[in-house]
């Protein structure tokens, strides 16, 4: 876990819903100088923080609305800290929780050097990374449709399909197995959606491949030389890692991949370990469980 520890004259905590934002600014002594609810717009934000621009740092929680504010701060030369949403226990563990309290807690954590940081992914690559996450959504939708076909077949106690309907050539005649017209129609809809998802995924992956070759062709080639890493896995890792240099050591990279067990110790006694989280959703962690290569090997290669 990394913390933001630089000292400033003013610290701004921002709770950022979709249409409005709550801004709390404190000074070095912890005195609240401004606590305001404003419209989520660049002009309103800049007007509110103008008296404190001399030496201001702002922090916001890593939710879906932070992109525009990060870009605005970069443009205006205001230091920006992205807080790690999963580590914000000082907020989530409070007795009372609402936007006004949250913004003040963010400012207090930032001032005290206890603000857990998340990586501010570069603006020019965010759209590509988000497209990968849309691909994950489509894959899960496709998997749910395939599972529904299999479950419906078992529900009617019909013979096993005997073939993998994930492949288009094996889907012919599947809907005709079901005598009930409503069930027949339901399976037809499932198969049609699966076929359409296949087309969307193929087009999406081609677009992502072109983008990766444009951004980092050499790094992509290096990743694909490693055993166990194919076209898709190399592209996913490329866009989630972004720059391997942002990790000070191999150990930091392996920890980022959620492959480090967390030891619990008190008074010199080990109290156990937290289980390793080997499969982390792409929104909060980098990649699925590695296959025949290790994350440490990737770090050394890159």
The CATH number for 93's domain is 3.30.420.40
Write b or e for each residue in 83-109: b if 16 or more Cβ atoms lie within 10 A of its Cβ, otherwise e. bbeebbebbeeeeeeeeebbbbbbbbb
Task: Flag whether pLDDT at 280 surpasses 60.
Answer: no
- β partners of residue 25: 12, 34
Query: Do 48 and 96 lie in a common domain?
Result: yes
What distance in Å separates the CA atoms of residue 157 and residue 3, rounded to the nearest whole number? 57
Mean pLDDT of all residues belonging to the chain: 82
Query: Do 127 and 195 lie in a common domain?
Result: yes
Write b or e for each residue in 4-41: b if 16 or more Cβ atoms lie within 10 A of its Cβ, otherwise e. beeebebbbbbbbeeeebbbbbbeeeeeeeeeeebebe
Query: Do 128 and 107 lie in a common domain?
Result: no
- Give the range of the structural domain holding residue 38, as residue numbers without chain letter: 10-111
Task: Flag whether pLDDT at 151 surpasses 60.
Answer: yes
User: Whole-model pTM above 0.85?
Assistant: no
- Residue 270, in any domain of the structure: yes
Question: Could you read off the pLDDT of 2-59 as tens digits, one per residue?
Answer: 788 889 999 999 988 888 899 999 999 999 999 999 999 999 999 999 999 999 999 9
* Confidence at residue 97, expressed as pLDDT on a 0 to 100 scale: 64
Last residue of a domain, one of 186, 213, 239: 239
What is the number of domains present in the chain? Answer: 3
- Residue 55, in any domain of the structure: yes
Last residue of a domain, one of 191, 208, 239: 239
Query: Do 157 and 65 lie in a common domain?
Result: no
- Residue 216, in any domain of the structure: yes
Structural contact between residues 11 and 103, judged by C-beta atoms closer than 8 angstroms: no
Q: Worst-scoring range by mean pLDDT, 114-118, 171-175, 283-287?
A: 283-287
Task: Flag whether pLDDT at 273 surpasses 80.
Answer: no
Structural contact between residues 169 and 142, judged by C-beta atoms closer than 8 angstroms: no
Task: Flag whether pLDDT at 233 surpasses 50.
Answer: yes
């Amino acid at each position: 876990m990394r913390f933001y520890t630089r000292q400033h004259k003013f610290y701004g905590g921002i709770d950022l819903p979709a249409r409005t934002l709550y801004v709390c600014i404190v000074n070095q002594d912890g005195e609240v100088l401004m606590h305001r609810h404003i419209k989520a717009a660049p002009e309103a934000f800049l007007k509110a923080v103008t008296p404190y621009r001399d030496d201001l740092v702002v922090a916001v929680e890593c939710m879906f609305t932070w992109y525009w504010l990060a870009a605005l701060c970069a443009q205006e030369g205001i230091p920006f800290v992205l807080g790690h949403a999963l580590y914000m226990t000082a907020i989530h563990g409070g007795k009372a929780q609402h936007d006004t309290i949250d913004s003040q807690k963010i400012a207090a954590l930032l001032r005290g050097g206890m603000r857990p940081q998340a990586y501010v992914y570069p603006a020019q690559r965010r759209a590509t990374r988000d497209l990968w996450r849309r691909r994950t959504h489509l894959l899960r939708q496709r998997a749910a449709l395939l599972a529904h076909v299999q479950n419906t077949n078992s529900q009617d106690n019909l013979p096993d399909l005997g073939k993998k309907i994930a492949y288009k050539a094996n889907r012919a005649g599947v809907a005709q197995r079901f005598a009930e017209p409503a069930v027949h129609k339901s399976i037809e809809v499932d198969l049609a959606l699966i076929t359409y998802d296949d087309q969307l995924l193929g087009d999406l992956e081609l677009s992502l491949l072109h983008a990766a070759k444009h951004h980092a062709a050499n790094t992509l080639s290096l990743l694909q030389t490693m055993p166990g890493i194919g076209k898709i896995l190399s592209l996913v890792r490329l866009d989630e890692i972004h720059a391997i240099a942002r990790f000070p050591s191999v150990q930091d990279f392996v920890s980022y991949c959620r492959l480090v067990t967390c030891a619990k110790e008190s008074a010199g006694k080990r109290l156990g370990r937290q289980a390793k989280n080997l499969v982390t959703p792409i929104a909060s962690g980098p990649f699925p469980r590695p296959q025949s290569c290790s994350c440490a090997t990737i770090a050394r290669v890159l």
